[in-house]
Amino acid sequence: MKSLIILNPTSSGGKTVEIRGMLEGILQELGLDYHLHVSKSPGDVTETVRSNLDRYTNFISFGGDGTLHSIANVLAGTHKNAGCIPMGSGNDIARNLDLPLDLKESCIAIKNCVTKRIDLGLINKKYYYLGVSGAGFDSVVTDLANNTKFPFQGPAKYKYAVYQTLLTYRPRKFYIKFNEIRKEVDCMFAVVGNMKMYGGGMQITPAASPEDAILDLCIIEKMSKLHFIKTFPLVFEGTHINDPLVKSYRSESIEMDSDYNFSVYADGEYICKLPVRYDVVPKSLSVIIS
């Protein structure tokens, strides 16, 4: 099977470029039939995949969650395979799918090409996502983490952005509809998970699975800053859901709005502003697993 490897030169602070030779050595050693493309932007990733659908069977991200997100948005609903050689700061999608994080093991998985079909989330009937999407405190944090140069990467960068945002953030009114239920609630933020983790290993929707044809909604209700600081570390184990101010629900479709014009992110990528509608699209993407 022919594979198109898409290298994101900005992932991991440029490490993908530094180890390109090592990657190609492994691919050649394994006898993979591949072509490597160095992307210029998320738009370039999308266009490159779209224009090569007839030429390749496998479309492989050599980068982070954002690169895989762009690939998935083209491959959704097709029989082409999305794959991942994880080189991002968090690699949450790879972790959610139990994919190897080791370079050679990732290449071996692509060589073996064992696949399964997974669900995708769909935003406003237009934008697909694999993992977790949300708005509120976490989207303000993501704005900060993505647009500020920190001296560190991965979970440490996200944690730093969390505590910086907490200094000035205040809860906002959210309007959420699901399963014929309408909720008006003051909350810190709300997320909709097709997978369980984001933000470098935070299990925000710990029961979510991309194979159950349903989305998991987590609402973090208004709480004091001290309460939030105590609760926040629990998200890495998924035990935050035991807090009485954390509410979990499941639905095939969810609508969300707020009295504040929050950004909406998915897989760490900016998607749109509120309001937003989420739907699940069962078995819509073929992914290479280990």
The domains of the chain are located at 2-112, 129-282
- Name the pTM for this structure: 0.93
pLDDT digit string, tens, across residues 258-287: 999 999 999 989 999 999 999 999 999 999
Q: What is the CATH number of domain 2-112?
A: 3.40.50.10330
Supply the DSSP symbol for 182.
E
Q: What is the pLDDT of residue 102?
A: 94
Q: What is the mean pLDDT of residues 102-119?
A: 96
pLDDT digit string, tens, across residues 171-182: 999 999 999 999
Count of Cβ atoms closer than 10 Å to residue 261 Cβ: 10
Q: Which two tokens stand for residue 75?
A: 């491959």
125 contacts: CB under 8 Å, gap ≥ 6: 277, 279
C-alpha closest to that of 220 among 200, 204, 203 = 204
pLDDT digit string, tens, across residues 46-65: 999 999 999 999 999 999 99
Q: Which two tokens stand for residue 235?
A: 């998200």
2-112 and 129-282, same CATH topology: no
Q: What is the CATH number of domain 129-282?
A: 2.60.200.40
